[in-house]
Amino acid sequence: MKLAVALLAAASLLAGLAGCGGSGAEPGAPHGATLVLDFTPNAVHSGIYAAQHEGYYEDEGIDLSIQQPGESTDAPKLLAAGRADFAILDIHDLGIASERGIEIVGTMPLVQRPLAVVIARAGRGIAAPRELEGRTVGVTGLPSDEAVVDSEVSADGGDPADVKRVTIGFNAISALAAGKVDAATGFWNAEAVALRQQGVPIRVFKVDEYGAPPYPELVLATSRRTAEDDPGLVRSVLAATTRGYEFTVAHPAQALDDLLAEVPSLDRAEQRAQLDALLPDLRPDPFDPAALRAWANWDFQHGLLERPLAVDRAFELGLQP
């Protein structure tokens, strides 16, 4: 998931990761492993923190260290270099890394549909994406934002070239709340939830309702070397993580307590609102190869990938329990 710049410096992260991998562990001792998040902890990571707090990783013989990303963290390179064992990646980042020859693979989807949306300020006469023609739309500057706007407007019968785009960074909430833009790209589980909590009237257009396939937005990834050399470790982490998300779906209030117990600085009301929005799509189901192929084709069509991606190589489809 691509959101605002995270809190920790990259140097601190790298120092913390220097000993990951569990080498030199005594026989029978827990296997040390490190997982790097895609952003500061929030409700989308609830299954991971529930698995940690409920002891599911421990049950699998894993001593998991969960790390927040640093300002300049490049998780795919950390994985490929053996400086981290696992990472949460936006699926577009995983595809781009794979295309560039970085040897990583997706092992498990965390969210079963895209999170990307265009959020329009209500009262601006925008009832559908095609009505963004001639309007000012705030984007972060990331290529994926351009793909979202293009996909939604064209799928709704409009001309994406007629949309006025302005780079606002990761300030969609303040820009929309202040009425500085007519619409902005964001995520339905984050910016859209926050704006509604603030009482800002909005319309939300989800990208998979306008042109994009139902691809899994966030993916748990590892290096190809780890997947091939230590499949037992990968299966153990996936089993515990799956249990964590199953627990979250079955017991959301307790999972929220687990998340806040591990990260007490989070705001309970905000995280509860995000979790409520996410619950229908937090199913820990295995990858759907057809959905992955449709996603890769969509990324290629919208210029996020330079060539069609070999999905069978970029994702390990047989490791998830």
Please write the tens of the pLDDT for every residue from 212-247.
999 999 999 999 999 999 999 999 999 999 999 999
How many angstroms separate the Cα of 72 from the Cα of each of 15, 36, 105, 170, 251?
Answer: 14, 13, 21, 16, 35
Residue 183 three-state SS? strand
The first and second tokens of residue 249, run together, are 């779906």
Name, in order, each residue with C-beta under 8 angstroms of 6's C-beta and a sequence gap of 6 or more: 39, 40, 68, 69, 70, 71, 73
The first and second tokens of residue 222, run together, are 């590892």
Q: What is the pLDDT of residue 297?
A: 97
Q: What is the pLDDT of residues 125-153, one digit of tens each?
A: 999 999 999 999 999 999 999 999 999 99
Q: What is the pLDDT of residue 28?
A: 64
Q: How far is CA 120 from the centre of its chain?
A: 22
Q: What is the pLDDT of residue 2?
A: 41
List domains and CATH numbers for the chain: 10-113+215-314 (3.40.190.10), 116-209 (3.40.190.10)
pLDDT at 103 exceeding the cut of 90? yes
b/e map 16-53, b = 16+ CB within 10 Å: bbeebbbeeeeeeeebbbbbbbbbbbbbbbbbbbbbbb
Average pLDDT in the 83-103 region?
95
DSSP code string of 108-167: EESSSS--EEEEEETTSS-SSGGGGTTSEEEE-S-HHHHHHHHHHHHHTT--GGG-EEEE
Q: What is the pLDDT of residues 16-58, one digit of tens each?
A: 444 444 444 455 678 999 999 999 999 999 999 999 999 999 9
Please answer whether residues 115 and 187 qualify as being in contact, where contact means their C-beta atoms are separated by less than 8 angstroms. Answer: yes
pTM: 0.88
Strands (E), the chain: 31-36, 62-67, 86-90, 104-109, 116-121, 136-139, 164-167, 183-187, 202-206, 218-223
Average pLDDT in the 73-80 region?
88
Torsion of CA 230, 234, 239, 243, to 10 degrees: 150
Q: What is the pLDDT of residue 8?
A: 35
The first and second tokens of residue 265, run together, are 């600085």
The DSSP secondary-structure symbol of 263 reads: -
Q: What is the CA radius of gyration of the chain?
A: 19
C-alpha span between 175 and 131 (Å, rounded): 19
